[in-house]
Amino acid sequence: MTHDDEVDEIDLRLLHALQIEPRAAWSDLAPIVGADASALSRRWIAMRDSGIAWITGLPQIGRHGRLAFIEVECVAGHREQVATRLEHDPEVLILDYTVGARDLFVTVYCDSIEQMTEYLLGRFDQLPGVRASRTHMVTELISDARSWRLRSLSPSEVARIPRARPPRPRAASNVPEEVRAAVLKELAIEGRMPAATIAARHGLAAQRVADAISTMRARGEMYLRTDISREHSPWPVYTWYFIQLPAAHIDAARSVLRKLPELRLAALCSSRFNLILAVWLPRLEDVHGFEVRLTGILPSAVVADRSAVLRIRKHVGHLLDEHGRATRTVVPVPGS
């Protein structure tokens, strides 16, 4: 695959496998994906280097961590200026250019409600070029993109993919802070970076780093996610839906929403939209068809508004270009 090539079916099968186990050995994936180990390695390097796909290591959201969505209306002609300032804020996880009643839609994470308050009333409130903003505090994250799949492998093939290796019996149960910091720093940039490479960069023993990665994953202190540029996926249309749902039907929403294969994120919020969804669709014409399916499984849901995404500017620490390709990591994600 060259820099300008589109992904093919083998690429999609490989990425689906890496969504399930991002650090799986190529030799383990070869008989499942349908290409030899060296070919899989070359394909991954080509997609990674061209920015079509990337794997990110992230710290789990802490018990006191807070997520929020911010709708931003910009002064005419100032959207690019506002986005440029926001992309360097470590609190900003996702930054979308949108159409409709908002110019930008921002996903923000802070380690505590106090930090969230400080960010919103401090740096964000002082941004030049912002005409108006509305914040939706997330009260419950029903699902996010970690559980979204490309659906290129069959269920039987998915079942054959080896899961993450547990820690060695002799591995230390606690990961020292300097090792934890080294792992999070490097895996935020390249989630498949070998333990030996991380060790060499930070003057650590390779086995110690390998044990730390296994331990942090097993204990839920870190997770890995594989992402693909939506422009290079079969679902290039990205839309946010803003929904009003009766409180009595929230329990039903938790179970039925997970049945929607297009769903990338579902969050309950303390705002006039108490349910906010992000979905990927094959065509722009499918935006209203999704609403029909949504109200079919959740009849009480009222879609109060929706916004199509023109471009993703930042995605969990990675800057994306105008073609949706990851170009570089700008800052560590919060908590790392």
Q: What is the pLDDT of residue 328?
A: 84
Q: What is the mean pLDDT of residues 312-332?
A: 88
Q: Are residues 155 and 190 in the same domain?
A: yes
Residues 158 and 34 in one domain: yes
Task: Say if 58 falls within a structural domain.
Answer: no
User: Which of the four pLDDT bands, split at 50, 70 and 90, describes residue 282?
Assistant: very high
Q: What letter does residue 245 receive in the DSSP assignment?
A: -
List the domain range (segments joined by +) for residue 250: 66-149+233-329
Q: Which of 147, 310, 322, 324 is nearest to 237 (CA)?
A: 310
Indicate whether 161 belongs to any domain: yes
Asked if residue 276 and residue 174 are part of one domain, the reply reads no
CA distance 246 to 255: 15
Q: CA 327 from chain center: how many Å? A: 16
Cα–Cα–Cα angle for 182, 48, 56, nearest 5°? Answer: 35
In which band, very low, low, confident or very high, does the pLDDT at 3 lie, cut at 50, 70 and 90?
very low
Q: Which CATH number characterizes residue 314's domain?
A: 3.30.70.3460
Let me know the angle formed at the C-alpha of 183 by 312 and 323, rounded to the nearest 5 degrees.
Answer: 20
Identify the pLDDT of residue 334.
47
Sequence-separated (6 or more) residues with CB below 8 Å from residue 324: 229, 230, 231, 232, 311, 312
For the chain, the domain total comes to 2
The whole-number pLDDT of residue 37 equals: 98
Q: Cα dist. 185→146, 316, 332 in Å?
A: 20, 13, 7
* Mean pLDDT (whole number) for 45-52: 96
Mean pLDDT of 215-232: 94
Where b means 16+ CB within 10 Å and e means fewer, 174-187 reads ebeeebbebbbbbb
Q: Is the residue at 103 inside a domain? A: yes
Q: Is residue 55 part of a domain?
A: no
pLDDT for residue 6: 79
What is the share, in percent, of the chain residues with pLDDT greater than 70? 96
pLDDT at 109: 93
The H or E element spanning position 50 is helix 37-50
User: pLDDT band at residue 46, thresholds of 50, 70 and 90?
Assistant: very high
Is 106 among the domain residues? yes
User: Cα(207)–Cα(172) distance, rounded to whole angstroms?
Assistant: 11
| Together in a domain, 324 and 249 | yes
Report pLDDT for 18.
98
pLDDT at 31 over 80: yes
Instruction: Tell me the backbone φ, ψ of residue 113, rounded to 5 degrees.
Output: -65, -30
Give the pLDDT band of residue 336 (cuts 50, 70, 90): very low
Structure tokens at 179: 């090792």
C-beta separation of 104 from 133 below 8 A:
no
Q: Mark whether 156 and 74 lie in a shared domain.
A: no
What is the pLDDT confidence band of residue 38, given thresholds at 50, 70 and 90? very high
pLDDT of residue 4: 52
Are residues 262 and 144 part of one domain?
Answer: yes
Residue 331 has pLDDT above 80, yes or no: no
Contact predicate 113/64, CB 8 Å: yes
Q: Which pLDDT value is given to residue 127?
A: 95
- Whether residues 307 and 239 share a domain: the answer is yes
Same domain as 169, residue 42: yes
277-280, Cβ contacts within 8 angstroms, sequence gap of 24 or more: 277/240, 277/241, 277/243, 278/238, 278/239, 278/240, 278/241, 279/238, 279/239, 279/241, 280/148, 280/230, 280/233, 280/235, 280/236, 280/237, 280/238
**Per-residue pLDDT averaged across 96-123, rounded?**
95
Q: Which tens digits make up the pLDDT trace of 158-212?
A: 999 999 989 999 888 889 999 999 999 999 999 999 999 999 999 999 999 999 9
Mean pLDDT of the residues in the chain? 93
Examine the domain organization and report whether 96 and 172 are in the same domain: no
Question: 1 in a domain, yes or no?
Answer: no
In the block, residue with structure tokens 């080294």: 182
Kindly indicate the confidence band of residue 302, based on its pLDDT and cuts at 50, 70 and 90.
very high
Neighbours of 322 (CB within 10 A): 10
Query: Pick from 176, 203, 228: which residue ends a domain?
Result: 228
Model pLDDT for residues 234-268, shown as the tens digit of each residue = 999 999 999 999 999 999 999 899 889 999 999 99
* 145 in the same domain as 158: no
Q: Which two tokens stand for residue 318?
A: 């990675």
- Answer whether residue 57 is part of any domain: no
Contact call for residues 29 and 161 (beta carbons, < 8 A): yes
Give domain status of residue 336, yes or no.
no
Q: Does the structure show a pLDDT above 70 at 139?
A: yes
140 and 214 inside one domain: no
Which of 228, 255, 273 is the C-terminal boundary of a domain?
228
CA neighbor of 21 nearest in space, from 198, 175, 159: 159
Question: What's the pLDDT score for residue 171?
Answer: 87
Name the domain boundary from 199, 228, 257. Answer: 228
On the question of pLDDT at 335 being above 60, the answer is no
Whether 64 shows a pLDDT value over 90: the answer reads: no
**pLDDT > 90 fraction of the chain, expressed in percent and rounded:** 87
CA atoms of 4 and 52, how far apart (whole Å): 10
- Using alpha carbons, select from 97, 114, 92 the residue that is nearest to residue 334: 92
